[in-house]
Structure 1
Amino acid sequence: MDTESQDPVVVALSSLVPAGVDSGRLTRESGRQLRWVAAGSATPPVVLVSGAGEVGLDWAVVLPSLAERSRVIAYDRAGLGASDPTSRLTLDSQVRDLVALLDDVGPAVLVGHSWGGLLAQLTAFASPDRTLGLVLLDPFHEDSTAEVPLALRVSSNLLLNAIPVLKAIGLFDRIAANMGRTLAERCTDDLEIQALITEAYRASYRTFGQVTTIRAENRLANTCTREVRAARATSAAPDVPMRILTASRGKPAALRQRSGDLADQTAAVFARGVHVVVPDSGHYIHKDQPAAVVDAVRAVLAQANP
């Protein structure tokens, strides 16, 4: 175990968790390193899987509360944060990394947001013996994109294509600082701790490679439909407790309705699946309504069979 006492993410999260935060690295093919941070000690562990382009630090709002009753592990996917890039980013490579992490930390409850929600499901299909439960926060579904308005799709693609340019001319660093500051303000009123979180967030996107991985992951989400459908068609959902939480605002009406219908379908695949619409929450439920997420995780933990 490497405590990495100078790691800005470890320093920032340790300021929020009284018992402190440690970190570890999992060696993958060709020696590349997958970095994770952890807090708490109770079992079974909870593994947090971030949305597309996001890093483990994105869970800072809920991690301290979850760590009160569990060992909570948040990792950076390949190419993001402190994790080395993979030679070829694919849906399969991301699922294999998460399965490898479960092999290392033991059977766990998976908590996934957006793109991470899809990865958590695919990992549960691929490694049911390592999956004790699922909590999916407004998860990405391959069949929802048809309801995204054309104008929104075009603007999103333009923004993704502009990300490397923004990084090259220095504007992305300002964006990261603002996003880090917003995250910090949701975590604490302490200005010194806010500064630590903001700096840790900036550090997570310091290199050109980290920033281009944001684009790569989002593009992967746009091209994975056939692969995901095949996985769903050929896989059986494990008999584990499952909660799927969806947002109640921030989406066009048709997309919100479609997302809700798909969430119902997803929950129905699991024998113990439950779908809950979270009041007054946008897509980032773990930031808008952290108590709802903590309650859902604890409910699943209570029903999980280690």
Structure 2
Amino acid sequence: MDTGTQDPVVAALSRLVAAGVIRHELTRESGRRLRWVEAGGAGPPVVLISGAGEVGLDWAVVLPTLAERSRVIAYDRAGLGASAPVSRLTLDSQVRDLVALLDDIGPAVLVGHSWGGLLAELAALARPDRTRGLVLVDPFHEDTTAEVPLALRVASSIVLTALPLLKAIGLFNRVAANMGRELARRCTDDPMTQALVTQAYLASYATYAQVVTIRTENRLANACTRQVRAARATSAVPDVPMRLLTATRGKPAALQQRSRDLAEQTAARFQRGAHVVVPDSGHYIHKEQPAAVVDAVLAVLAEADRETP
């Protein structure tokens, strides 16, 4: 472990977290490195799992508050941020990486957004012994794909196909800079810290290969239905506290209703599951309504703590 003095993500997060942030690396097959950062220290680990194509820094709005109450870990999946790419990126490889992280740090509360929510659920099904609780933040569900309007699917496919070209000609960096500045604005009013967060965001997508990984991850969502259904059908649901948060804005009406219905079904599968609809929030609840995410995590932590012998 180290303080990551040359790591722009550690530098940015350390400005937001009073006690600082530590960088770690987990060695995986063929010596590839999976980078994760840690803040806080007391209480069971809380692992933050970002959406498709996104990095650990994406949790910068809620991480400092959670670090006041527990040990918080955010990692970059293979091929994104400071984590080395895997030879073949698959749903299985992503779940295996997450389980390997849990094996290293011990049983944890898993907090996943969007695609990360699905990964959290699959890791919990695969290793209930390493799962103390779940918070799924507007999670991806494989059965929502059919409800996405055709025009939106076509537009999304075009954008994903074009991402590497946009990176090659420099347009991607402009978009990433705007997204980094927006994330920084939500984190702090301090101009120096905002600049560090923006720089860290850009550093997370500095290479052509990282941008290709964004496309690959997003395409996994369109090809995972059969595999995820099989995992759900053959795995026992762990008896852990669980909260599922859904957004109220940003989706076509049919997709919004379908998402809520699937959220209810998912929460009902857990004996201690609860579905919470978050008012006035789009898909990125942890940025737009961070208090709702913090409250859900603290509730799950409190319940998990009561079960500790």
TM range (shorter): over 0.9
**Structure 2: which amino acid aligns with 1:237?**
V
Q: Distance in 1 between matches of 2:258 and 2:30?
A: 41
**Structure 1: which amino acid aligns with 2:141?**
H
Q: Distance in 2 between matches of 1:222 and 1:180?
A: 27
Q: Distance in 2 between matches of 1:20 and 1:221?
A: 35
Give the aligned partner of residue 4 of structure 1.
4
Give the aligned partner of residue 238 of structure 1.
238
**Structure 2: which amino acid aligns with 1:247?**
A
Give the aligned partner of residue 289 of structure 1.
289
Give the aligned partner of residue 265 of structure 1.
265
**Structure 2: which amino acid aligns with 1:34?**
L
Q: Distance in 2 between matches of 1:298 and 1:236?
A: 25
Q: Distance in 2 between matches of 1:257 and 1:4?
A: 44
Q: Distance in 1 between matches of 2:57 and 2:292?
A: 19
By how many angstroms is 1:26 displaced? Answer: 0.1
Q: Please state if 1:277 is matched with 2:273.
A: no
Q: Distance in 2 between matches of 1:2 and 1:41?
A: 15
Q: How high is the TM-score relative to the length of structure 1?
A: 0.99
Cα deviation code 1:28-73 (max 9, x no counterpart): 0000000001100012010000000000000000000000000100
Q: Distance in 1 between matches of 2:285 and 2:251?
A: 13
Give the aligned partner of residue 254 of structure 2.
254
Partner SS for 1:25: strand
State the percentage of identical aligned residues: 79
**Structure 1: which amino acid aligns with 2:14?**
S
By how many angstroms is 1:6 displaced? Answer: 1.5
Cα deviation code 1:125-170 (max 9, x no counterpart): 0000000000000000000011111111000000000000000001
By how many angstroms is 1:3 displaced? Answer: 1.7
**Structure 2: which amino acid aligns with 1:151?**
A
Give the aligned partner of residue 175 of structure 2.
175
Q: Distance in 2 between matches of 1:292 and 1:245?
A: 8
**Structure 1: which amino acid aligns with 2:37?**
V
Point out where structure 2 has 5 or more consecutive residues left out of the alignment.
Answer: none
Q: Distance in 2 between matches of 1:64 and 1:211?
A: 27
What aligned pairs does 1:126-145 form with structure 2 within 5 A after superposition?
126-145=126-145
Q: Please state if 1:124 is matched with 2:124.
A: yes
Cα deviation code 1:68-95 (max 9, x no counterpart): 0001000000000000000000100000
Q: Distance in 1 between matches of 2:23 and 2:109?
A: 19
**Structure 1: which amino acid aligns with 2:259?**
S
By how many angstroms is 1:4 displaced? Answer: 1.4
Q: Distance in 1 between matches of 2:13 and 2:251?
A: 31
What count of residue pairs does the alignment treat as equivalent? 306
Give the aligned partner of residue 96 of structure 1.
96
Q: Please state if 1:28 is matched with 2:6.
A: no
Q: Distance in 2 between matches of 1:170 and 1:250?
A: 28
Give the aligned partner of residue 110 of structure 1.
110
Partner SS for 2:275: strand
By how many angstroms is 1:2 displaced? Answer: 2.0
Q: Distance in 2 between matches of 1:58 and 1:38?
A: 14
**Structure 1: which amino acid aligns with 2:221?**
A
Partner SS for 2:142: coil
Q: Distance in 2 between matches of 1:143 and 1:208?
A: 31
Partner SS for 1:111: strand
Q: Please state if 1:68 is matched with 2:49.
A: no
Q: Distance in 1 between matches of 2:95 and 2:263?
A: 21
Q: Distance in 1 between matches of 2:3 and 2:110?
A: 23
Q: Please state if 1:37 is matched with 2:40.
A: no
RMSD: 0.5
Q: Please state if 1:192 is matched with 2:206.
A: no
